Structure formats: C-alpha cells, structure tokens
C-alpha cells in the first residue's frame, strides 16, 4: 500500500518511488490520473484499474496475482489508500489468504489538515464524506463525541453544512482546510458563524476538509439555560431568544429551541 501526493507532486517518499518502479502491477483508482504522476517521475509500470465500481471483483483477482508470484502496489488518486478511497476489500482478501501487506507511508490530507488546524489533535474523529442525506442526524450522533470532528465536503455544500454544524454544535471553533499543498492552499480558522459569513461572501473551490472543535463538553446547566431563555423570551420572539441564547451559551440551536418550546408551554400553562 503506497501513499502518493495529495496535491504537490514533490510530496512523495524515495521508498514510494522505489516501490512503484519495482512492482509488477500498480492498482490505481483512476489510471489516467495516476499515469501523470508516474510520467512525472519517469516510472514505466503496468497500471490496472481498481475503484469503487469494480472493487468487489478486482480484489480477488489482485490477490490471485500476488499468490501467483507477482507484486502489486495499491495507490489512490491522492494520499493514503483506504482513507475515503477504495482498497478495504483488497486488504480483506489479502488478510484472508495470509498474503503479507506492507505499508509505504506518506501524505494524508486528514493528518495534514489536523496538524495545522490549531484545534485539539487528540482525540479526533474522522467520518469521511458528510452524507448528502440525513446530515443533521449524523451530526447529532457526532455531537456526543468529545473530540475534534473531521469530514470532507463538497465546496458547493460547504456553507449549508457549516450552518447545520452551527445548529448542532453551537458557535464553536472550527477550521476549513482547502487545496492543501496546492498553489491556492488555504486554512481558515474561527467560529462557525465567522466561517459561514466568510464562505457566503467568498465562494469556495477545490477539495475541502472541515474540522469542528467538539472537544469540550457543554457546561451550561439546565437551570442556567432555563433562566437565560425565560429572561430573553420576556421581550423577544422565541426565534430571536433561541438565536441569542444559543450564541451566548455556545449551545446547539436545536437543543435550545427544543427547550424554549417546552418552557413556552409551561409558561402558558401557568398563565391559564
């Protein structure tokens, strides 16, 4: 298993180059993309396509080649294979057949983003790509984890996803890593509300990694929250009260809104 650059072609180890030069086959996610890297380093190798759509069948075939005495290197389009890339089934096939697996370590966009984010590095929880459907439910699951939450996101959905994060995690510290190691590398840091405002005004492009600081448990007690909401709801609408209190208490809007509705019912009951 060989790690390849995540953007800058020079970010590759000598051992990786030596391995790619010496193996019989290179299993690549996108052979056309990988061929450019091999051409850059003058590596003449036999490429074989290995991606999400053919992984089920190719895993066994590649394991068979290895058992037949041939050597295979697995690479992805960028970074370390298996990290939101195909390869897991091939690893399973090799383990099942007691085929030795060797790692040629190198770049990882996840570790690179975490290292320069300025957020707590341990523990962290990487979840791959945020699902297109059921995102709010997934975020609510991860809100229970006291860790830095990391996920990949499409630039087209970034602002919407950040807004959902604000609703769930509150206005916590966060970071956005974009196009790491490339010409237009960017790392934006700040509160979620600040990042939402930034990317609403500046349309993001390229590959995006989102990091959310959920390492500190919410300390506002239920009694404090009730008091803040009751005071705010005396002269604000429920919506405005939730907005104000969630920001001041650094609590998820969803949690504050639910409690505000409960208090509203209680207050109306007392009035009757």
Note the pLDDT of residue 9. Answer: 96
Spell out the residues 6+ positions from residue 261 whose beta carbon is closer than 8 angstroms to its own: 238
- Per-block average pLDDT, block size 10, for the chain (272 residues)? 96 98 96 96 95 91 94 95 90 94 96 97 94 85 91 95 89 95 95 96 93 77 78 88 82 84 78 50
Note the pLDDT of residue 271. Answer: 52
CA-to-CA distance for 164 and 157, rounded, in angstroms?
Answer: 11
* The three-state (H, E, C) secondary structure of the chain, written as one string: CECECCCCCCCCCHHHHHHHHHCCEEEECCHHHHHHHHHHCCCCCEEEECCCCCHHHHHHHHHHHHHCCCCEEEECCCECCCCCCCCHHHHHHHHHCCCCCCCECCCCHHHHHHHHHCCCCCCEEEEEECCCCCHHHHHHHHCCCCEEEEEEECHHHHHHHHHHHHHHHCCCEEEEEECCCCCCCEEEEEEHHHHHHHHHHCCCCCCEEEEEEECCCCCCCHHHHHHHHHHHHCCCCHHHHHHHHHHHHCCCHHHHHHHHHHHHHHHHHHHC
Tell me if 158 sits within 8 A of 178, measured CB to CB: no
Burial class (CB in 10 A: 0-12, 13-18, 19+), 68: exposed
Note the pLDDT of residue 222. Answer: 61
CA-to-CA distance for 174 and 185, rounded, in angstroms?
Answer: 17
Note the pLDDT of residue 190. Answer: 97
Q: Would you put residue 132 in left (φ > 0), alpha (ψ -120 to 50) or beta?
A: alpha
Q: Whole-prediction pTM value? A: 0.79
CA-to-CA distance for 171 and 77, rounded, in angstroms?
Answer: 34
Q: Which residue has the tokens 């970071």?
A: 175
Tell me if 113 sits within 8 A of 180, measured CB to CB: yes
Q: Which two tokens stand for residue 137?
A: 């439910």
Tell me if 83 sits within 8 A of 108, measured CB to CB: yes
Note the pLDDT of residue 157. Answer: 94
Q: What is the largest CA-CA distance in the chain?
A: 83
């Amino acid at each position: 298993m060989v790690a390849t650059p995540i953007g800058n072609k020079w970010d590759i180890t000598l051992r990786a180059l030596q391995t790619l030069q010496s193996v019989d086959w290179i299993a690549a996610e996108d052979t056309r993309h990988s061929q450019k890297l091999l051409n850059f380093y003058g590596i003449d190798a036999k490429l074989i396509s290995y991606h999400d759509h053919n992984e089920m069948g190719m895993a066994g075939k590649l394991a068979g080649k290895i058992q037949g005495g041939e050597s295979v290197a697995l690479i992805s389009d960028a970074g370390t294979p298996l990290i939101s890339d195909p390869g897991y089934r091939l690893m399973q096939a090799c383990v099942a057949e007691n085929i030795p697996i060797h790692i040629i370590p190198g770049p990882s966009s996840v570790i690179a983003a975490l290292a320069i984010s300025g957020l707590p590095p341990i523990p962290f929880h990487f979840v791959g790509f945020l699902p297109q459907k059921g995102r709010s439910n997934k975020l609510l699951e991860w809100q229970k984890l006291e860790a830095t939450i990391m996920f990949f996101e499409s630039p087209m959905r970034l602002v919407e996803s950040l807004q959902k994060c604000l609703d769930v995690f509150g206005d916590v510290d966060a970071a956005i890593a974009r196009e790491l190691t490339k010409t237009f590398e960017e790392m934006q840091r700040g509160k979620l509300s600040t990042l939402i405002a930034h990317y609403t005004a500046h349309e993001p492009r390229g590959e995006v990694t989102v990091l959310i600081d959920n390492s500190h448990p919410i300390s506002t007690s239920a009694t404090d929250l009730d008091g803040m909401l009751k005071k705010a709801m005396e002269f604000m609408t429920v919506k405005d009260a939730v907005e104000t209190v969630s920001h001041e208490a650094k609590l998820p809007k969803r949690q504050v809104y639910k409690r505000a509705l409960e208090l509203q019912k209680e207050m109306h009951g007392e009035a009757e």
